[in-house]
Amino acid sequence: MDTTAAQLDAIKAFVTTPLPDRLRTGDVERRVLTLFHYCATHVPAYRDFLERHNVSADRIQTLADYRTLPLMTKDNYIRAYPLPARCPGGTLTACDMIAMSSGSTGTATVWPRTPAHELDIAYRFEQVLRDGFQGHERRTLAVVCFALGTWVGGMFTAACLRHLALKGYPLTVATPGSNKDEIFRVVRELGPHFEQVVLLGYPPFVKDVIDSGIAAGLDWPRYRPKLVFAGEVFSEEWRALVCERIGAADPRYATASLYGTADGGVLGNETALSVNIRRFFSERPDAAREAFGESRLPTLVQYDPSSRYFESADNTLVVSGDNGVPLIRYHIADKGGLIACQDLLERVRGYGFDPLAGLDQNSVRDLPFAYIFGRADFTVSYFGANIYPENISVGLEQSAVRKQVSGKFVMQVVETDDHNEALHIVVELLPGANASESLRDTVAATIRAQLLRLNSEFANYVPAQYQMPRIVLKPAGDPEWFPVGVKHRYTRRT
């Protein structure tokens, strides 16, 4: 069980350990096995879990042994045991903070943590700020735009950033949360005193902040913005669009996406290298399909296996790590896979692209890659083709329509009057934009063009006469389709 002394030791280790030293991952096998044996001894729920599966902890002595352990899931472990039993010592006493999952896939779940767990995650933020934004040298204002409250994003992010300030980064943190007027006030009043402003939030909301700021007369380039995202897959066209609107010349060193979950914390992060590779794949959907096995572009991150140990099972991800409730081979149900760093570099070079071209070599780390697709329940099936939100997003980011639509949409397959299927997409307009038949037709055409380019199932399964989507344009913040302040869902079942 963590004690005050252990927490102080964790703080001291974090403050005194340079990032490059931390990212020399060392003996991953020893770390993973140490966590397992600790849980088998000190976590009551996991002891019982092993007994129920007839597993003797003593026989788990190598990573090969470890990979034979039963998978944890929400159903067989998280929901099956009381919260205290899933914590070391069978008590919540050592944990001083809790977060709750959004409950989007069921009942909300509580996830406790200690400062030591935040410090482990803070290295992910340090990697983004140091390697990507030179935050160890530049006076930085970090503006937390995630919702504040029991949800994991806002409070956890603020805590990790404050830990970096404690480590000596010239970093000041502001927490306006999801209040756009407060975000603008913070940027206008404090931004001029810093060398850069970093906005951290969910991609659709950050774009909304940028667009609304422009409409309100906010001169984004003046503040040399950088952007940190989490929570959703987005396209490289989308990244280029938001960078254009904030005046950022090089998206590789102006943006980064975090791969995180409420249960596991931040599991990995984009780097300049991963963005460079992903930008290449966005221009070569054929190569992306060969590399990742799908007609959509995944999030591509690098991860520290000494912090979060990943495995792949049936094209989904399994993670081990300690985030308050220790997780041993936890099936997080995210579709994706793993690629060693040098293997991916060689694969990309095989297509004639140098993935290190134009990069600051000090920002390149020999860390493994994880690729993550959106959850399967965010797709719709149309004539047997899986239609992914990412495919639709690219259509709305084309130059012909992007100045009039926000990028938010809801797609569904509906039955027409003559009992045929139609792909129905409701699209949100930007504030001040007007719905017109011409715009509707243009949106439909750009979405169809990108579906044909990116989604081979759509191109081959859907008859040509059914390929043009039916578009409905709604004003910004429409209460039925795009309510303000509610986490957006891109699909709706009929």
Instruction: Report the alpha-carbon distance of residue 409 to residue 291 in Å, rounded.
Output: 28
- Between 476 and 261, name the one with better pLDDT: 476
Contact 78, 263 (CB under 8 A): yes
| Confidence (pLDDT) at 295 | 73
Weakest-pLDDT range from 45-54, 74-83, 384-393: 384-393
Query: Mean of the pLDDT values across residues 232-249?
Result: 90
Q: Residue 263: pLDDT band by 50, 70, 90 thresholds?
A: confident
DSSP 76-123: IIITTS-TGGGSGGG-STT--EEEE---TTSS--EEEE-HHHHHHHHH
Q: Kindly report whether the global pTM for this prediction surpasses the value 0.85.
A: no
The two tokens of residue 265 are 């914390």
Percent of the chain with pLDDT over 70: 96
* 125-154 residue pLDDT tens: 999 999 999 999 999 999 999 888 887 889
Query: Mean of the pLDDT values across residues 256-278?
Result: 94
Q: Is residue 368 predicted with pLDDT exceeding 80?
A: yes
- Nearby residues of 178 by Cβ (< 8 Å), 6 or more positions away: 145, 146, 147, 148, 201, 205, 485
Indicate the burial class of 295 (C-beta count within 10 angstroms; 0-12, 13-18, 19 or more).
buried
Mean pLDDT of the chain: 91
Of the candidates 233, 232, 299, 306, the one whose C-alpha atom is nearest the C-alpha of residue 271 is 299
Q: Residue 383: pLDDT band by 50, 70, 90 thresholds?
A: confident
* 469-493 residue pLDDT tens: 999 999 999 999 998 766 778 887 6
Of the candidates 208, 146, 238, 236, the one whose C-alpha atom is nearest the C-alpha of residue 428 is 208
Weakest-pLDDT range from 166-175, 188-197, 269-278, 295-304: 295-304
Q: Is residue 104 predicted with pLDDT exceeding 50?
A: no
- Between 494 and 299, name the one with better pLDDT: 299
Weakest-pLDDT range from 8-22, 290-304, 415-429, 471-485: 415-429
| Half-sphere CA count of 238, side-chain side, radius 13 A | 29
- Nearby residues of 189 by Cβ (< 8 Å), 6 or more positions away: none
| Confidence (pLDDT) at 15 | 96
Percent of the chain with pLDDT over 90: 72
| Confidence (pLDDT) at 469 | 96
Query: Mean of the pLDDT values across residues 293-301?
Result: 88
| Confidence (pLDDT) at 376 | 54
| Confidence (pLDDT) at 436 | 95
| Confidence (pLDDT) at 102 | 53
| Confidence (pLDDT) at 391 | 87
Q: Which residue has the tokens 């959850």?
A: 375
Q: Residue 1: pLDDT band by 50, 70, 90 thresholds?
A: very low
Query: Mean of the pLDDT values across residues 46-69?
Result: 97
Q: Is residue 419 predicted with pLDDT exceeding 80?
A: no
The backbone torsions φ and ψ at residue 83, rounded to the nearest 5 degrees and listed phi first, read: -55, -50
Pairing mode of beta strands 327-339, 369-372: antiparallel
For 32, the 3-state DSSP assignment is helix
Q: Residue 91: pLDDT band by 50, 70, 90 thresholds?
A: very high
Instruction: Report the alpha-carbon distance of residue 198 to residue 187 in Å, rounded.
Output: 10
* 207-221 residue pLDDT tens: 889 989 999 999 999
Q: Is residue 87 predicted with pLDDT exceeding 50?
A: yes
